[in-house]
């Protein structure tokens, strides 16, 4: 394959004086949880990072590692790196990366979780409890303990050097310990580590200064700065610049910008955030510094990264989740194969949501992420003829993986396009990234010669008489229509009809069912104007961010302003719990807040009594109520579509059922893709 230079800036080396980055692509820090599995966990971590090194990134930042027991972000001692005895485990990682590509750098991220640590022994500058992540109040560090904590950072950096890392990144953002020293609201100290901004920033500056002193000149030291906290009472722009300059003077090699605290209520990485929305802030800071700067957040394709560099917003582009989604991202970009990139859709469903639920991290679109030692798509020695029925996420994942292994795959789809439910998801404002997943599968189908038969409703007989070694049924689901009196009324639509715009939707609407799809439908029908995820100015208005004037935290004193459709919407569920509980940990709050700001009425504990020309009759806590609506949209989950499987069950030997067709209760793209890939790997 000939190499194109379409991304000339992205592939320009960067001279750091004592060393050089081969290009501008950085794999940003991502928690994996693999280290929790002891020695085997480190073997798996080594394989995970080595695959990204082989994929062409210039530098990798590891997941956060705590310098002491109080700072564990995941509550597991395995995350702590404070003793020479742990060096051999880390050596496994650094050696694997060097073996994969001697030119790839790897830096250890030092993360002290501070008041976010999910442990009763957590510490902070002041005893102020975090509103998120942990239920425990922190203990105030004594002046001696502050000194000891700085020593712990320095010790960790020294151990990192011993273990073969090329450098360290100190995370000074996100609300973790270092950043909590910076703000008055979390630092009420009266000793030399609190009071004026000069004193509050000393902790960050001293960590960098003393690390540099200990590790010498030829070691990368990155400081991750909170360039915007997205909170009232965050840092002023002058404070951000003052800190960045002081960090440069203290000996940092690179400054990396970050744009949130975990307790902030502005989304900064979810799919509803426009691509590269925050790069302009990095660009503004870059003008004040002479060392290179890194930008990040929602940069998920090479053209976006190239544009960020072309606009002078950064020297290096960090992509964490995109490297989970596709370890070969950099090589594909370099070789002009960007249409083969499996794009991160910023759903957070299998990465950050898993991390915060203490589950092993992986990726919705790439189940091999963090499973490199056990899930492999090896070339088959015995190619089979395989029929696949249904080109939704499960059928697609199976087909392209099996074909990539060398099997002959015929994929039947009754619709005229592939994608199943992804074709609904892509139409929801803020979920446009699903177009990329469909583009990826289209390209993989071409590349691996899957025989795609669109518009073909395959029959039982075709499958019985065909020369198939294996038959895979991935026929998906159909919307569930609950047995409510009057459900056949003309004012009733299922969610499919609503999303595809197949029937008109009135001004007053009740939505039955408040799962992921109920929320999506509410978002769609209350939406007006341009999707915020496609326009950074609309996004800034919706969430009250001022990129130009940069008030404190980027948001101080600004009221979010949404363009709201002229429609009154009731979102209903039978459970008595608060609506949105089942949505993603890291994204659900933003969905809910957005709908609340649009005035959507959310009602729990509903019993549906009937639908007629007066509207929807319900009881709430046994009180009868009529919602005088002109449209009722049913979003009450799904039922499996598996007739063909049941018909064939006795007559075909190697028959498999996957995805929503197998378990509709959990139609979930993560499970569907994972199941499709694992089955394909096993045949």
**Number of Cα atoms under 13 Å in the Cβ half of residue 584:** 22
Taking the complex as a whole, the smallest distance from the CB of residue 356 to ligand SF4 amounts, in Å, to 12
Taking the complex as a whole, the smallest distance from the CB of residue 355 to ligand SF4 amounts, in Å, to 10
Contacts with 142 (C-beta within 8 Å, 6 or more apart), sequence order: none
Q: Verify binding: residue 661, ligand NAP, rule CB under 6 A.
A: no
Question: Of these, 288, 574, 597, 625, which contacts ligand NAP (CB under 6 A)?
Answer: 574
* Three-state secondary-structure class, residue 640: strand
Q: Verify binding: residue 371, ligand NAP, rule CB under 6 A.
A: no
Q: Verify binding: residue 590, ligand NAP, rule CB under 6 A.
A: no
Q: Tell me the H-state helices in 169-225.
A: 177-182, 197-200, 202-215
b/e map 178-212, b = 16+ CB within 10 Å: bbbbbbeebbebeeebbeebebbbbbbbbbbbbbb
Selected range binding ligand NAP among 95-103, 154-162, 617-625, 663-671, rule: CB under 6 A: 663-671
* Three-state secondary-structure class, residue 274: coil
Which option in ligand NAP, ligand SF4, none does residue 683 bind, with CB closer than 5 to 8 A by kind?
none
Which option in ligand NAP, ligand SF4, none does residue 325 bind, with CB closer than 5 to 8 A by kind?
ligand SF4
* Radius of gyration over every alpha carbon of the chain, rounded to an integer in angstroms: 26
**Number of Cα atoms under 13 Å in the Cβ half of residue 518:** 31
Taking the complex as a whole, the smallest distance from the CB of residue 516 to ligand SF4 amounts, in Å, to 14
Question: Of these, 466, 501, 582, 599, which contacts ligand NAP (CB under 6 A)?
Answer: 582
Selected range binding ligand NAP among 103-111, 191-199, 230-238, 634-642, rule: CB under 6 A: 634-642
Contacts with 474 (C-beta within 8 Å, 6 or more apart), sequence order: 388, 389, 390, 391, 392, 394, 395, 398, 657, 658, 659, 661, 672, 676
Selected range binding ligand NAP among 29-37, 379-387, 466-474, 570-578, rule: CB under 6 A: 570-578
Q: Are 180 and 125 in contact (CB under 8 A)?
A: yes
Which option in ligand SF4, ligand NAP, none does residue 635 bind, with CB closer than 5 to 8 A by kind?
ligand NAP
* Three-state secondary-structure class, residue 556: coil
Q: Verify binding: residue 667, ligand NAP, rule CB under 6 A.
A: yes
Which option in ligand NAP, ligand SF4, none does residue 582 bind, with CB closer than 5 to 8 A by kind?
ligand NAP
Q: Are 618 and 570 in contact (CB under 8 A)?
A: no
Angle between helices 143-162 and 202-215 (to 10 degrees): 40
Which option in ligand SF4, ligand NAP, none does residue 632 bind, with CB closer than 5 to 8 A by kind?
none
Q: Verify binding: residue 575, ligand NAP, rule CB under 6 A.
A: yes
Scanning residues 500 to 529, which ones bind ligand NAP (CB under 6 A)? 512-518, 520
Query: Total residues contacting ligand NAP (rule CB under 6 A)?
Result: 23
Token pair 């590509």 is found at 101
Question: Of these, 302, 420, 584, 659, which contacts ligand NAP (CB under 6 A)?
Answer: 584
Which option in ligand NAP, ligand SF4, none does residue 63 bind, with CB closer than 5 to 8 A by kind?
none
Which option in ligand SF4, ligand NAP, none does residue 668 bind, with CB closer than 5 to 8 A by kind?
ligand NAP
Angle between helices 87-100 and 38-54 (to 10 degrees): 20
Complex with ligand SF4: residue 68 or 366, whichever CB lies closer? 366
Q: Which residue is nearest to ligand NAP (CB)?
A: 515
Q: How far apart are CA 211 and CA 156, in angstroms?
A: 9
Find the length of the chain: 683
Scanning residues 372 to 431, which ones bind ligand NAP (CB under 6 A)? none
Contacts with 505 (C-beta within 8 Å, 6 or more apart), sequence order: 493, 498, 525, 567, 631, 633
Token pair 């939406």 is found at 527
Binding mask 348-367 for ligand NAP (x = CB under 6 A): -x------------------
* Three-state secondary-structure class, residue 21: strand
Catalytic residues: 176
Contacting residues toward ligand SF4, per CB under 6 A: 321, 324-325, 344-351, 363-365
Which option in ligand NAP, ligand SF4, none does residue 348 bind, with CB closer than 5 to 8 A by kind?
ligand SF4
Question: Of these, 386, 635, 652, 661, which contacts ligand NAP (CB under 6 A)?
Answer: 635
Q: In what order do the strands lie in the sheet with 606-612?
A: 606-612, 615-620, 623-627
Question: Of these, 257, 399, 573, 594, which contacts ligand NAP (CB under 6 A)?
Answer: 573
Complex with ligand SF4: residue 364 or 411, whichever CB lies closer? 364
Complex with ligand SF4: residue 442 or 503, whichever CB lies closer? 442
* Three-state secondary-structure class, residue 527: strand
Distances (CA, A) of 595 to 61, 175, 648: 36, 26, 45
Complex with ligand NAP: residue 202 or 670, whichever CB lies closer? 670
Taking the complex as a whole, the smallest distance from the CB of residue 322 to ligand SF4 amounts, in Å, to 7
Q: Verify binding: residue 41, ligand NAP, rule CB under 6 A.
A: no
Selected range binding ligand NAP among 60-68, 197-205, 232-240, 630-638, rule: CB under 6 A: 630-638
Four-CA torsion 521, 523, 526, 532, nearest 10 degrees: -140
Locate 53 and state its tokens.
């090194």
Distances (CA, A) of 421 to 342, 359, 392, 406, 532: 18, 26, 7, 27, 22
Taking the complex as a whole, the smallest distance from the CB of residue 668 to ligand NAP amounts, in Å, to 4
Which option in ligand NAP, ligand SF4, none does residue 517 bind, with CB closer than 5 to 8 A by kind?
ligand NAP
Complex with ligand SF4: residue 22 or 31, whichever CB lies closer? 31
Token pair 């003793």 is found at 83
Selected range binding ligand NAP among 47-55, 391-399, 453-461, 579-587, rule: CB under 6 A: 579-587
Complex with ligand NAP: residue 221 or 511, whichever CB lies closer? 511
Query: In the complex, which residues of this chain contact ligand NAP (CB under 6 A)?
Result: 349, 482, 512-518, 520, 573-575, 582-584, 635-638, 666-668
């Amino acid at each position: 394959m000939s190499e194109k230079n379409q991304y000339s800036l992205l592939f320009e080396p960067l001279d750091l004086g004592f060393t050089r980055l081969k290009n501008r692509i950085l794999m940003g820090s991502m928690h994996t949880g693999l280290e929790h599995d002891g020695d085997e966990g480190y073997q798996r971590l080594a394989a995970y990072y080595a695959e990204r090194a082989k994929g062409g990134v210039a530098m990798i930042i590891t997941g956060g590692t705590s310098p002491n027991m109080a700072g564990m972000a995941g509550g597991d001692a395995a995350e702590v790196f404070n003793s020479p005895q742990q060096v051999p485990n880390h050596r496994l990682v650094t050696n694997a990366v060097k073996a994969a590509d001697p030119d790839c750098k790897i830096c250890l991220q030092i993360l002290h979780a501070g008041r976010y640590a999910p442990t009763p022994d957590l510490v902070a500058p002041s005893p102020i409890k975090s509103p998120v992540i942990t239920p425990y109040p922190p203990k105030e560090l004594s002046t001696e303990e502050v000194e000891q904590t700085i020593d712990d950072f320095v010790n960790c950096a020294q151990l990192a050097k011993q273990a073969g890392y090329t450098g360290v990144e100190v995370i000074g953002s996100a609300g973790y310990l270092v950043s909590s020293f910076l703000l008055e609201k979390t630092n009420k100290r009266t000793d030399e580590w609190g009071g004026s901004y000069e004193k509050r920033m000393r902790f960050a500056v001293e960590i960098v200064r003393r690390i540099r002193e200990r590790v010498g000149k030829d070691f990368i030291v990155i400081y991750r700065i909170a360039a915007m906290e997205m909170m009232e009472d965050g840092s002023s722009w002058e404070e951000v610049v003052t800190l960045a300059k002081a960090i440069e003077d203290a000996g940092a090699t690179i400054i990396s910008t970050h744009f949130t605290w975990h307790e902030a209520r502005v989304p900064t990485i979810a799919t509803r955030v426009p691509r590269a929305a925050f790069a302009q802030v990095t660009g503004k800071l870059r003008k004040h510094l002479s060392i290179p700067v890194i930008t990040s957040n929602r940069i998920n394709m090479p053209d976006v990264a190239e544009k960020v560099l072309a606009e002078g917003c950064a020297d290096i582009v960090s992509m964490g989740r995109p490297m989970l989604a596709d370890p070969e991202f950099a090589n594909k970009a370099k070789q002009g194969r960007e249409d083969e990139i499996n794009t991160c859709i910023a759903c957070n469903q299998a990465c950050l949501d898993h991390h915060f639920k203490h589950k092993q991290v992986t990726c919705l679109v790439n189940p091999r992420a963090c499973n490199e030692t056990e899930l492999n798509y090896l070339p088959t020695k015995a190619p089979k003829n395989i029929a696949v029925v249904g080109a939704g996420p499960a059928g697609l994942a199976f087909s392209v993986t099996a074909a990539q292994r060398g099997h002959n795959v015929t994929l039947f789809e009754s619709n005229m396009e592939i994608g199943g439910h992804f074709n609904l998801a892509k139409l929801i404002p803020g979920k446009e990234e699903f177009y990329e997943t469909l583009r990826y599968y289209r390209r993989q189908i071409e590349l691996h010669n899957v025989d795609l038969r669109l518009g073909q409703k395959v029959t039982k007989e075709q499958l019985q008489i065909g020369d198939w070694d294996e038959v895979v049924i991935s026929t998906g689901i159909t919307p569930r229509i609950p047995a409510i009196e009057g459900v056949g009324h003309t004012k009733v639509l299922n969610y499919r009809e609503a999303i595809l715009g197949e029937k008109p939707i009135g001004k007053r609407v009740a939505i039955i069912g408040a799962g992921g799809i109920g929320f999506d439908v509410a978002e769609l029908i209350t939406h007006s104007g341009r999707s915020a995820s496609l326009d950074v100015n609309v996004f800034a208005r919706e969430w009250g961010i001022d990129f130009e004037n940069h008030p404190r935290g980027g948001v101080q004193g600004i009221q979010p302003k949404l363009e709201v459709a002229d429609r009154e919407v009731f979102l209903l569920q039978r459970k008595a719990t608060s609506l949105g509980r089942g949505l993603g940990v890291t994204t659900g709050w933003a969905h809910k807040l957005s709908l609340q700001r649009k005035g959507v009425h959310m009602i729990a504990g509903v019993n549906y009594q009937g639908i007629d020309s007066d509207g929807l009759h319900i009881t709430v806590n046994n009180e009868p109520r009529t919602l005088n609506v002109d449209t009722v949209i049913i979003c009450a989950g799904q039922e499996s579509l598996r007739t063909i499987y049941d018909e064939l069950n006795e007559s075909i030997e190697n028959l498999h059922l996957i995805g929503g067709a197998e378990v509709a209760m959990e139609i979930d793209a993560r499970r569907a893709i994972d199941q499709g890939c694992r089955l394909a790997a096993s045949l």
